[in-house]
Structure 1
């Protein structure tokens, strides 16, 4: 079975504006669902295939082009094959920062500095790293950082999401009494408030709002 066949085996449905998978090949194990694609691990391999439903297939080409620009930066997965609606790439073993917060796995300052280093390398390619969130930063078993989901790295506007996360890390997470393990529902609630601009994490912005 090749990647094209796997990609065409998927039957998507949409429920309340979210992607759902109704059917997929038995070789595939669903491991992630995002706003515009689903990710499956290909059983018996160290690869995943990211598949986009029809209304989002244009993003597949965008993301493929961006990964091509990042091939010299080993903090990103290697892409082996692309098609009209899919990308086949490395399976990255580890825990996302979201999972670390949920499980109580420590996130230290070296992890934050490593993300900063990666983003600087991306900027040097002429891209604008955007939409950096807890689910697209992974701490691997050897305590290294890997990043995924680069489709928005070509957008022009300035994205403050990573800056806001750093501010939250410095202001809250590093506090000795801050709980290092948080339930998933609370993390999702905080993310929803942030997305709706009901939660301000950027300290500079907060001063402007309150002033």
Structure 2
């Protein structure tokens, strides 16, 4: 186990920030629960201000350890987890220059079905938490609240795709790939406004 205690983090009302980074690890992200640093070509560490959040995300990664959509978990401690690092743009950045393909739509649909099968309460993802590799495969991060926050429909995913003008295309792909899911979403109060 590497000692991450020398890295000092702080938290304001919105984000966990790195105050001291004596190892000069590359900071690759920070959010409400933790800050993430790249510690090797294939690994990163997420540091949490609240150890409960570390335990929650570790639990999710253990439950989803067989899923190709989740980063591999290598190590954990009271306030950190070491997991797989993968390069590639977030789906939000990718879709600013590329169009949504049927392959990516199918990947999103498979991910949403898989997390429902895993027993997640939050059946959703934000575009900035979805990464796409060179082969068009997806990895999804930031799962702290997967078992605690209830969101049975992909509201944030729909909002993100709508903001980029890609939602209608996604909905049409879903209709062709999985008409049953299309009808469930169309008939839900949460998502019905996105269907014409």
Residue number among 48, 52, 56 corresponding to 2:48 in the alignment: 52
- The number of residues matched between the two structures is 174
Matched, 1:204 2:192: yes
Supply the distance in 1 between the matched residues of 2:146 and 2:77 (Cα, whole angstroms).
20
The one of 55, 64, 70 aligned to 1:61: 55
Deviation, structure 1 residue 174: 6.2
For structure 2, which runs of at least 5 residues remain unmatched after alignment? 170-189
The TM-score, its normalising length taken from structure 1, stands at 0.71
Distance 1:174 1:128 in 2: 23
- The 8 Å contact of residues 61 and 84 in structure 1, kept in 2 or not, is answered as yes
1:90 matched to 2:87? The reply is no
Q: Are 1:153 and 2:153 an aligned pair? A: no
Residue-by-residue CA offset, 1:161-199 (whole Å, 9 max, x unaligned) = x245337647932679xxxxxxxxxxxxxxxxxxxxxxx
TM-aligned CA deviation for residue 24 of structure 1: 1.1
TM-score of the pair, normalised by structure 2: 0.76
User: Against the structure 1 CA distance between its residues 25 and 99, is the aligned structure 2 distance closer, same or farther, given a 3 Å change threshold?
Assistant: farther
Sort the Cα spacing of 1:14 and 1:100 in 2 relative to 1 into closer, same or farther, 3 A: same
Distance 1:71 1:206 in 2: 33
Aligned to 1:191: none
Relative to structure 1, the CA distance from residue 204 to residue 37 in structure 2 (aligned partners, 3 Å threshold; closer, same or farther) is same
Cα offset, 1:127, TM superposition: 2.0
Return the match for 1:117 from 98, 101, 110: 110
Aligned residue for 2:76, secondary structure, equals: strand
Paired residues of 2:158 and 2:167 also in contact (CA < 8 A) = no
> What's the RMSD between the two structures over aligned residues?
2.7
Secondary structure at the counterpart of residue 95 of structure 1: coil
Separation of aligned partners in 2, 1:140 and 1:14: 31
